[in-house]
Amino acid sequence: MKDYEKQADSDDVLSRHTAEYNLSVAMSNPQLKEQTDQNQKLKKALEARHLSMIAIGGALGTGLLIGTGTALRTGGPAAIFITYSLVGFVVFMVLSALGEVATFIPLADGFAGYCRRYVDEALGFACGWVYLFKYLLLPPNQLVAGALVMQFWVDKDRVNPGVWIAVFLVIITAVNVLGVRFFGEIEFWLSSVKVVTCLGLIILMLCVALGGSPSGDRLGFRYWKDPGAFKEYLDSSRDLHIGGPTGRFVSFVAVLVTTIFAYTGSELVGITFAECARPRKAIPKAIKLTFYRILLFYICSVLLLGMCVSSSDGKLLGASGNTASASPFVIAITNAKIKGLDHVINACILIFVMSAANSDMYICSRTVYGLAVAGYAPYFFSKTNKMGVPMYGIALCFAFCLLAFMTTSSSAADIFNHFVNVVSLTGLITWTCILFLHMRFMKALKVQGYSRKKDLAFRSPFQPFGTYFAFSMCCFLILAKNFTVFLGNDFPYETFITGYIVLPVFIIMLFGWKFWKKTRLIPVNEVDLDTYRDVVDYEEEQFQAKDAEDKAIREAQGNPRDFKWFYDKVFGWIF
């Protein structure tokens, strides 16, 4: 009888925690509010394939297709290969750290929620708002990039760029008001196009490097010898040249800073963790596959690009903008005398830009919603419509997207460029917060007697030194972001101010909230590692039971090689 009573008490606690967890998710997650009202248990919309593609789709953007040209021109082929590899490892450690924390107990209010639970409420406030600043100004930046891409086909004298901005703004707004399931499907297919484009470019660059192009020229590592693997630092706009080993080191650090922004957006998958079905399976898969994709799409791409395009190429030195003509891949295609592909690449760049704008508006609306629910932003941003969409958050992002129309004036375009420089530091600050959060989480596990090997569904590799190294790298890059302003005889103060202004703002918000609310750094022995864990454990047990049932059914059917099997075995590692 006592055992029965204990079991009943245990069931009551689990039921109560499940109800509380469902309520917490409903309050912090607009997509699940309607489901919870219907008493459905955590029946979430995003599947593993959505989450996996959003993870890589968030990182694959114009930074890879176009930004690599600036990096190659500045540092040389060896510099971009080393820096993309180094920053790729940092990104993998950031995602792994976030994945370890999120799979333990998934929280619906994103980075701010994890910081508030495991570190300090003030850090949650500061990190959440800095992340919101980033995604308030990124969508209009993407819309401007889309208008520039269209100018490859239609001159701005024929069609005002504002027309394209308006069209793209209507499209991304329409996609976002239709809910997370529709967003997930759209991003899955757009990201699939990104992956196919990158794979195609890698194969094409390999053929060009080996002499398989119409020119028949076998390039190999020719450009690593002449003009060289590393370049001396040169800034023609400031008439600044630093020669010798010092100049090559300065160029390397400058490229290291530039490389960060090619990877910016990789962490946005963390916002979707609370909306995925079965997070303890989907999150580790998304993160592990992201490592291989970074290795393939970024590191292989820049290695082959450095083989196919000279860092002193005249077209590379004169390239600007966001059209296909500014892409080093198109320059390689042109030099290889391959005709017609420039239009294809420009169309792919447009898809990259639209995907980025779409996901940026989604993340912006969810971030401000989470801040409102946590009490960090005005309450009305936490309201949703009948479909569970945070319309006030989308309206706020829409309003900031109107800044894109400033580029129709040349003077306003200069101001807008300063806006972009302001938010470029926010990604690094967010990565640093995630890594610090992970360090505190690991220490709390150790102090409270948990085993990372036994009690975690997913463990970040190379710990604790991997997180320490990545954290140190992010701190260094935050300070070194615009270090070139201190070189030379002049001092471009506008670049300095807009490049670093976010850092003091973050510090002021952190300590301002701390003093106002009298918060404290949570001692590791007091960090809450238990609340709702029983609910997540029970939910995972239900998924495992269903998996076992599905496996038995498939075995009874003779393990048919249907579409699900074909996708998992053949395309799952890519898509």
Domain residue extents for the chain = 46-359+404-531, 533-567
pTM, full prediction:
0.82
**Residue 184: is its pLDDT beyond 50?**
yes
User: Which of residues 179 and 494 earns the better pLDDT score?
Assistant: 494
Q: Please tell me the total number of residues recorded for the chain in this structure.
A: 575
Least confident of 117-126, 128-137, 314-323, 436-445: 314-323
| Two tokens, residue 376 | 């960090």
DSSP string, 193-249: HHHHHHHHHHHHHHHHHTT-STT----TTHHIIIIISS--EEEGGGTEEE-HHHHHH
Diameter over CA atoms, the chain: 87
Res 471: pLDDT = 95
User: Across the chain, what does the average pLDDT equal?
Assistant: 78
Task: Give the pLDDT mean for 485-495.
Answer: 82
**Residue 402: is its pLDDT beyond 60?**
yes
- Do 95 and 290 touch, CB atoms closer than 8 A? yes
Euclidean distance between the first and the last CA atom of the chain, given in angstroms as a whole number: 53
User: Which of residues 564 and 344 earns the better pLDDT score?
Assistant: 344
| Angle (deg, nearest 10), helices 301-308 and 67-75 | 60
Task: Give the pLDDT mean for 333-350.
Answer: 82
Task: Give the pLDDT mean for 418-429.
Answer: 79
464 preceded by a cis bond (ω within 30 of 0): yes
Least confident of 163-172, 373-382, 391-400: 373-382
Res 360: pLDDT = 84
Q: Kindly give, in sequence order, each residue whose CB lies less than 8 Å from that of residue 549, ignoring residues fewer than 6 positions away.
A: none
Task: Give the pLDDT mean for 272-287.
Answer: 70
What does residue 233 show for φ and ψ, rounded to 5 degrees? -75, 130
Strand pairing class (233-235; 240-242): antiparallel
Strand, helix or coil for residue 310: coil
Task: Give the pLDDT mean for 27-53.
Answer: 44
**Residue 18: is its pLDDT beyond 60?**
no
Percent of the chain with pLDDT over 90: 11
Least confident of 108-117, 156-165, 178-187, 555-564: 555-564
- Do 50 and 184 touch, CB atoms closer than 8 A? yes
Least confident of 272-281, 477-486, 524-533: 272-281
Closest CA to 273 of 28, 534, 567: 28
Closest CA to 318 of 80, 73, 150: 73
Least confident of 35-44, 171-180, 244-253, 278-287: 35-44
Least confident of 116-125, 313-322, 349-358, 556-565: 313-322
**Residue 444: is its pLDDT beyond 80?**
yes
Res 551: pLDDT = 73
**Residue 290: is its pLDDT beyond 80?**
no
Res 574: pLDDT = 52
| Two tokens, residue 46 | 């995003």
Cα dihedral across residues 279, 283, 286, 288: positive or negative: negative
- Where residue 25 falls among pLDDT bands split at 50, 70, 90? very low
Cα three-residue angle 503-508-514, rounded to 5 degrees:
130
**Residue 354: is its pLDDT beyond 50?**
yes
Question: Measured in whole angstroms, how far is the alpha carbon of residue 165 from the centre of its chain?
Answer: 23
Q: Kindly give, in sequence order, each residue whose CB lies less than 8 Å from that of residue 442, ignoring residues fewer than 6 positions away.
A: 452, 463, 464, 467
User: Which of residues 447 and 187 earns the better pLDDT score?
Assistant: 447
Task: Give the pLDDT mean for 237-261.
Answer: 83
Task: Give the pLDDT mean for 484-498.
Answer: 82
Least confident of 114-128, 509-523, 555-569: 555-569
Res 565: pLDDT = 64
Nearest-angstrom CA–CA distance, 503 and 480: 12
**Residue 322: is its pLDDT beyond 60?**
no
CATH fold of 46-359+404-531: Amino acid/polyamine transporter I (1.20.1740)
Res 399: pLDDT = 93
